[in-house]
Amino acid sequence: MRVLLTGISGFVGHHIFEHLMKNTDWNVVGLHRSGFAGDLGRLAEVLDDHPDWNERLTLVHHDLRDHFHEKLPEFDRVFHVAASSHVDRSIANPRSFLLDNVLGTQNLLEYCRDEVDQFIYFSTDEVYGNAPDGVSYTEDYPHRPRNPYAASKAAAEDICYSYMITYGVPLIITNTMNIIGERQHPEKYLPLVIRHILDGETVKIHAHPDKKRAGQRHYLHARNAADALLFVSQHGEVGQYYNIVGEKELDNLEFAKLIAWYVKEWHLERYLSVGELKYEMVDFHSSRPGHDLRYALDGSKLQKMGYMYPLSFEDSLRNTVRWTLEHKDRWL
């Protein structure tokens, strides 16, 4: 088996690569683009620990916004993970997100439409929009994207679906919630909170208009996301959607406090001091529409198929915080 993995040098992509190497005998054609999110240093760190994996990897540099001018090595399945993925930057520059996530997906579909026996599109919970308290969206809920990033992913999903109906592309779509893990870009919430604690700076907590209650998210580690993606590839059905859901919901303040506890624990073990978490509740939503306060997906479909995450949320977060502190010169 040989799979095409787009975004292999991105945060999620390199974790998926590592998981495939450890848990299958598959070969990987990795599509990489240098830029804001793509960092070959991630792959280099993984391959330094497993040099034998180089024999199973073919790395190809290509910008998905361009047509394919040369034929790629043959592959059987596609994990399309490459995407621009930050709400703030999508609000500031929506066009770049449409080019990356919509045009890039269409170019890949066009190349793959007669080539593969499975095409998995890795999407997000944000396509469904803000989830009221007590509501978790199932796979058949209509799209209600509320910012340019979410809209670009929803549009890409629809283009994928149209290629399945029109051209017979064997499509599966996954929608995944907020992902944490090692080597995450410093703009993301977890490394940002760690950096602010170390620097004694105030963390801005995305909150409701009354600034008394923080926004809520489900978090899962990238290894768990990769494991669920592999499970879907092996047991999922063409034409189906699958929610990949974090096993615990926290509000953003609870999450920041838990990060701060693990930061303090790491320092105490080394007889070092570290400052306390400083935070300010901020009403992003009223001042800048598109910052949804809560996302929530229903994960019962995968559960009924017998799927269970291999790592608990607490262990995943603790390990990620400790690893990030031990590599702070590179990843903070």
How crowded is the C-beta side of 117, counted as CA atoms within 13 Å? 9
List Cβ neighbours of 331 (8 Å cut-off, separation of 6 or more): 182, 183, 184, 186, 191, 324
- Catalogue the active-site residues: 125-126, 149
Residue 284 has pLDDT above 80, yes or no: no
- What's the pLDDT at 187? 87
Find out whether 152 and 98 touch, Cβ atoms under 8 Å. yes
Tell me the pLDDT tens digit for each residue of 180-201.
999 999 989 999 999 999 999 9
Distance CA 41, CA 11 (A): 11
Which two tokens mark 213? 């209650």
- What's the pLDDT at 285? 67
Distance CA 225, CA 142 (A): 23
For residue 74, give the DSSP letter: P
- What's the pLDDT at 288? 62
Distance CA 103, CA 179 (A): 24
User: In Å, how far are 248, 250, 298, 319 from 254, measured between CA atoms?
Assistant: 12, 6, 21, 18
Residue 88 has pLDDT above 90, yes or no: no
Q: Which amino acid is at 100?
A: D
Second-level CATH architecture of 189-215+250-294+314-324: Alpha-Beta Complex (3.90)
Ramachandran category for residue 124: left, alpha or beta (phi over 0 → left; psi -120 to 50 → alpha) = beta
Find out whether 135 and 94 touch, Cβ atoms under 8 Å. no
User: In Å, how far are 7, 17, 118, 132, 176 from 40, measured between CA atoms?
Assistant: 10, 12, 26, 39, 24
Interval 112-132 mean pLDDT: 94
Q: Where in the chain is the domain with CATH 3.40.50.720?
A: 2-180+218-248+301-310
Interval 123-133 mean pLDDT: 95
Superfamily of domain 2-180+218-248+301-310: NAD(P)-binding Rossmann-like Domain (3.40.50.720)
Interval 85-110 mean pLDDT: 94
Find out whether 73 and 56 touch, Cβ atoms under 8 Å. no
Tell me the pLDDT tens digit for each residue of 14-50.
999 999 999 999 999 999 997 766 789 999 999 999 9
- pTM: predicted TM-score of the whole model, two decimal places: 0.95
Mean pLDDT of the residues in the chain: 94
Tell me the pLDDT tens digit for each residue of 232-270.
999 999 999 999 998 789 999 999 999 999 999 999 999
Q: Where in the chain is the domain with CATH 3.90.25?
A: 189-215+250-294+314-324
Using only C-alpha atoms, the chain has a radius of gyration, in whole angstroms, of 19
- What's the pLDDT at 325? 97
Tell me the pLDDT tens digit for each residue of 291-316.
788 999 999 999 999 999 998 999 99
